[in-house]
Amino acid sequence: MERYAVQVKLPLEKDESALLPLAAKAMGIGPNAIETVEVLKKSIDARKGGVCFQLSLAVSVKRGQKPKADWQPVRGKKAEPVTPGTEKMAHAPVVIGAGPCGLFAALYLARQGYAPIVWERGGDMQARQRSVQAFFDGGMFDPQNNVLFGDGGAGTFSDGKLTSRGKDPLGREVLQTLVQHGAPEEILIWKKAHIGTDRLRPVIESIKKEVLQKGGQWHNNAQLTGLLYKNGKLTGVKGQKDGQTITLPAQCVVLAIGHSARDTYEMLYQQGIEMVFKPFAVGVRMEHLQAEIDAAQYGAFAGHPKLGAADYALTAQVDGRGVYTFCMCPGGQVIPSVSEEGKLCVNGMSLHARNGLNANSAMVVQVQQGDVPGGVLGGMAFQRQMEQAAYRAGGGGYTAPVQTWKGFLQGAKDTRLGKIRPSYPREIRNVNLAEILPPFVTKGLRGGMQAFGRKIRGFDGPDVLFTGVETRTSAPVRIVRTQTGESTTLQGLYPAGEGAGYAGGIVSAAVDGLRAAQHIVAQYAPIL
């Protein structure tokens, strides 16, 4: 049965029982001519002073109904199945890292009968939660088990947004897999879907369980420290697990290290793996009252139970340099996102309900290679310098340096904060952030904030709170690879995901991990 693509607007006061007559009206046919209506995508339309839902529908009509010229068929592109290769695999494939990229690579390999071995430098979910909560409560920082390292990767302690600009049909498979493992079904239709860190954790544990059930192995607290190779071909990996040196023979390794494994970048560089500088962005986390963002975005409809917390995504150009908001967390919390001792950077996190008092987002300025010295790893050194400066400005102990927008604009340290109370879980300290940030970043943030204030009413209010510093928007390097996903310098090494510089978010990282696994499957025969 042919299905046709139809766009409709659903008023807030209507429920989905109104979709059939709305679809019939849009198509110019009677309601009785429609067989089925399926919601494909859903988003909030708050333009032109009103608020409604914008829906993309797949509508099937009854037999004998002649389609009109403007009825466009639904053209959903499906991922092509991969036929397993025939080459014998001497050793099980290894997956380094258990963030979204590594998780989905391991799951695909396990489902296809390749019994992957996962190395994750951080702890399992339970150990990780305990360590992170203790740190948030003022305890010691664990460099191996934290917000960035451990099962689920950096995405575990985030908003859990599932947006992706790509059209890869594997993106749909990622969402379906997440639902299979306990994520809410609504993520299949919402254009700006999110899970929330509280709902994401059991999903990750469920995926891990399936990998193990299908013959995979999983090693936590196992950090990659070296690659073994001969004649340009990978022969194994070397690492540290619980203080002991370990080695593992391997001819295929999915390198899914995430964007913050700086010691791994240094090791790869020393071993001659081809990498290049990749542009990234740095800045601050900013907080608004969520109620004020709701009012600015939804007007009189703010607080409507069907809408939830409002979000935003803003861009500007300041002296030819991009300034933009990133990883917006409605009703969320600013958190220390630290992977190295003596350094401080921040990120945002939110629960599924997004019911916190504050909205937070990164506001960042683009960094190009000409902005930093030091060649391939210059961007990483630049990030470290900013994080060291933030740590010192806070007085040590992972106290966060903060400043109101009014103070930042005037270049003066605040004597007191305004109506917005910081959500950062540890202590804060009033500082002049311009003394931490490079001048071009300070200039970009000032110009960007003024531009954003012209786009959203009240966005540049004097009490808006900045917390420093945001440095981990994306990897500062790209590990160069071939068309078949392998490193250009080492056969059998498959750099993938955010850490390799080829993704930006949960879905795109997961898709890239799937692609890496597919390259392996296409060449080798299953081992189970």
Q: Which amino acid is at 102?
A: G
Residue 166 has pLDDT above 70, yes or no: no
Domain holding 19: CATH number? Answer: 3.30.70.2700
Q: Identify whether residues 225 and 247 lie together within a single domain.
A: yes
85 within domain boundaries: no
Q: How many CA atoms lie within 13 A of 57 on its CB side?
A: 27
Residue in the structure block whose two tokens are 């090791």: 267
Contact 76, 31 (CB under 8 A): no
Residue 241 has pLDDT above 70, yes or no: yes
Residue 78 has pLDDT above 90, yes or no: no
pLDDT tens-digit series, residues 406-455: 999 999 999 999 999 999 999 999 999 999 999 999 999 999 999 999 99
Cα–Cα distances (Å) from 148 to 145, 215, 243, 303, in that order, read 8, 27, 20, 33
Q: Identify whether residues 212 and 339 lie together within a single domain.
A: no
What pLDDT, on the 0 to 100 scale, is given for residue 42?
95
Q: What is the dihedral of CA 125, 129, 135, 139, to 10 degrees?
A: -100
Among 219, 241, 237, smallest CA distance to 229 is for 237
Burial of 24 (0-12, 13-18, 19+ CB in 10 A): buried
Residues spanned by the domain of 415: 279-374+381-470
The least confident of 45-49, 235-239, 365-369 is: 45-49
pTM of the model: 0.95
Q: Identify whether residues 179 and 328 lie together within a single domain.
A: no
Burial of 467 (0-12, 13-18, 19+ CB in 10 A): buried
Q: Identify whether residues 259 and 346 lie together within a single domain.
A: no
Q: Identify whether residues 240 and 321 lie together within a single domain.
A: no
Collapsing DSSP to helix, strand or coil, 56 comes out as strand
Could you tell me what percent of the chain has a pLDDT over 90?
91
Contact 436, 469 (CB under 8 A): yes
pLDDT tens-digit series, residues 337-369: 999 999 999 999 999 999 999 999 999 999 999
78 within domain boundaries: no
Give me the chain's average pLDDT, please.
Answer: 95
Q: What is the mean pLDDT of residues 397-407?
A: 97
Residue 302 has pLDDT above 90, yes or no: yes
Residue 58 has pLDDT above 80, yes or no: yes
Residue 299 and residue 120: Cα distance in Å, rounded? 46
Name, in order, each residue with C-beta under 8 angstroms of 433's C-beta and a sequence gap of 6 or more.
284, 401, 403, 408, 442, 466, 468
126 within domain boundaries: yes
Q: Identify whether residues 300 and 404 lie together within a single domain.
A: yes
Q: Identify whether residues 318 and 197 lie together within a single domain.
A: no
What pLDDT, on the 0 to 100 scale, is given for residue 164?
66
Contact 261, 499 (CB under 8 A): yes
Q: Identify whether residues 430 and 508 lie together within a single domain.
A: no
79 within domain boundaries: no
Q: Identify whether residues 42 and 154 lie together within a single domain.
A: no
Q: What is the mean pLDDT of residues 285-299?
A: 97
438 within domain boundaries: yes
What pLDDT, on the 0 to 100 scale, is given for residue 346?
98
Strands 3-11 and 52-61: antiparallel
What pLDDT, on the 0 to 100 scale, is given for residue 267?
98
Contact 8, 46 (CB under 8 A): no
27 within domain boundaries: yes
What pLDDT, on the 0 to 100 scale, is given for residue 69?
82
414 within domain boundaries: yes
Give the CA angle between residues 17, 19, 21 to the nearest 5°. Answer: 100
Residue 509 has pLDDT above 70, yes or no: yes
Q: What is the DSSP letter of 60?
A: E
Collapsing DSSP to helix, strand or coil, 73 comes out as strand
Domain holding 272: CATH number? Answer: 3.50.50.60
The least confident of 66-80, 94-108, 351-365 is: 66-80
Q: Identify whether residues 251 and 104 lie together within a single domain.
A: yes
Residue 123 has pLDDT above 90, yes or no: yes
Residue in the structure block whose two tokens are 């990164």: 362
Q: Identify whether residues 111 and 256 lie together within a single domain.
A: yes
Domain end point (choices 41, 73, 105) = 73
Q: What is the mean pLDDT of residues 58-79?
A: 86
pLDDT tens-digit series, residues 468-478: 999 999 999 99
In DSSP notation, 237-291 reads EEEEETTEEEEEE-S-EEE---TT-HHHHHHHHHTT--EEE--EEEEEEEEEEHH
83 within domain boundaries: no
Q: Identify whether residues 259 and 324 lie together within a single domain.
A: no
Count of domains in the chain? 3
Domain end point (choices 73, 106, 122) = 73
What pLDDT, on the 0 to 100 scale, is given for residue 3?
92
What pLDDT, on the 0 to 100 scale, is given for residue 65?
82
What pLDDT, on the 0 to 100 scale, is given for residue 165?
64
Residue 379 and residue 476: Cα distance in Å, rounded? 5
